[in-house]
Amino acid sequence: MNVRVVGAGETAEALRKALARAGMAERAGAPVAFVCAADDLTRAIAMRELAQAVGPIVVLTSDAASAIEAGADDAGSTPDEVARRVAARLKAPRVAREDAPTPEPAPAASGKRDKPLILVVEDDEDARMVLSELLRPRYDVDAVGDGETALKRAAELNPDLVLLDLFLPGMDGFGALTGLRRHSKTADTPVIFLSAQKEHYRALAQTDGLTGLPNFRSFHARLEEEVARAHRYGHPLACAMVDLDGLKQINDQLGHAAGNRAILALADAVREELRDTDFAARYGGDEFVVLLPQTNEAQGALFAERLRKRLADVSEQAGLPVHGSIGVAAVTSDDLDSPEAAEDLLRRADEALYRAKRSGRDRVEVAHTP
Q: What is the pLDDT of residue 339?
A: 76
Residue, of 344 and 313, whose pLDDT is higher: 344
Residue ending a domain, choose from 94, 129, 161: 94
Q: Are residues 21 and 139 in the same domain?
A: no
Residue, of 57 and 104, whose pLDDT is higher: 57
Question: In sequence order, what are the beta bridge partners of 193?
Answer: 164
Q: What is the pLDDT of residue 370?
A: 63
Max mean pLDDT among 17-21, 96-100, 104-108, 200-204 falls in: 17-21
Q: What is the pLDDT of residue 1?
A: 75
Q: Are residues 176 and 220 in the same domain?
A: no
Q: Are residues 222 and 302 in the same domain?
A: yes
Q: What is the pLDDT of residue 199?
A: 60
Mean pLDDT for 37-41 is 89
Return left, alpha or beta for 111; rule: phi > 0 is left, psi -120 to 50 is alpha, else beta: left
Predicted confidence (pLDDT) per residue in 73-97, tens digit: 888 889 998 998 888 777 644 333 3
Residues 6+ apart with CB under 8 A from 22: 83, 84, 86, 87
Q: Classify residue 103: in a domain, yes or no.
A: no
Question: Residue 95 phi/psi, 5° resolution?
Answer: -65, -35
Mean pLDDT for 127-147 is 86
Cβ atoms of 362 and 323 closer than 8 Å: yes
- Structurally, the chain folds into a number of domains equal to 3
Q: What is the pLDDT of residue 340?
A: 83
Residue ending a domain, choose from 94, 128, 157: 94
Measured distance CA(57)–CA(34) in Å, rounded: 5
Q: Which domain holds residue 158?
A: 117-202
Q: Are residues 227 and 363 in the same domain?
A: yes
Q: Are residues 83 and 136 in the same domain?
A: no
Predicted confidence (pLDDT) per residue in 246-305, tens digit: 888 888 888 888 888 889 889 989 999 999 899 999 988 899 999 999 999 999 999 999
Per-residue pLDDT band at 195 (split at 50, 70, 90): low
What pTM did the predictor assign?
Answer: 0.52
Given a cut of 90, is residue 174 above it in pLDDT? no
Alpha helices by DSSP H, listed for the chain, are 9-21, 41-50, 64-69, 79-91, 125-135, 147-157, 173-182, 197-205, 216-233, 247-254, 256-273, 297-318, 341-358
Q: Are residues 192 and 61 in the same domain?
A: no
Mean pLDDT for 337-355 is 89
Closest CA to 284 of 267, 296, 297, 272: 267
Residues 6+ apart with CB under 8 A from 280: 213, 214, 270, 271, 274, 288, 289, 290, 291
Q: Are residues 251 and 147 in the same domain?
A: no
Torsion sign, CA atoms 26, 32, 38, 41: positive
Q: Classify residue 139: in a domain, yes or no.
A: yes
Q: Are residues 196 and 217 in the same domain?
A: no
Tell me if residue 24 falls in helix, strand or coil.
Answer: coil
Q: What is the pLDDT of residue 91?
A: 65
Predicted confidence (pLDDT) per residue in 98-131, tens digit: 333 433 434 443 456 788 999 999 888 877 887 8
Measured distance CA(155)–CA(104) in Å, rounded: 9
Measured distance CA(106)–CA(230) in Å, rounded: 54
Q: What is the pLDDT of residue 94?
A: 35
Out of 24-28, 39-43, 201-205, which region has the weakest mean confidence (pLDDT)? 201-205
Predicted confidence (pLDDT) per residue in 211-259, tens digit: 888 888 889 889 988 998 998 899 999 999 999 998 888 888 888 888 8
| Sheet containing 364-367, strands listed edge to edge, beginning at the edge strand earlier in sequence | 279-284, 287-293, 237-244, 324-331, 364-367
Question: In sequence order, what are the beta bridge partners of 60?
Answer: 37, 76
Q: Is 100 exposed, middle or buried (0-12, 13-18, 19+ CB in 10 A)?
A: exposed
Per-residue pLDDT band at 64 (split at 50, 70, 90): confident
Max mean pLDDT among 39-48, 52-61, 99-108, 322-331 falls in: 322-331
Q: Are residues 259 and 221 in the same domain?
A: yes
What does the DSSP assignment read for 144-160? ESSHHHHHHHHHHH--S
Tell me if residue 52 falls in helix, strand or coil.
Answer: coil
Q: Are residues 261 and 196 in the same domain?
A: no
Torsion, CA 112, CA 115, CA 119, CA 123, rounded to 10: -150
Q: Is 86 exposed, middle or buried (0-12, 13-18, 19+ CB in 10 A)?
A: buried
Given a cut of 90, is residue 355 above it in pLDDT? yes
Q: What is the pLDDT of residue 74?
A: 85
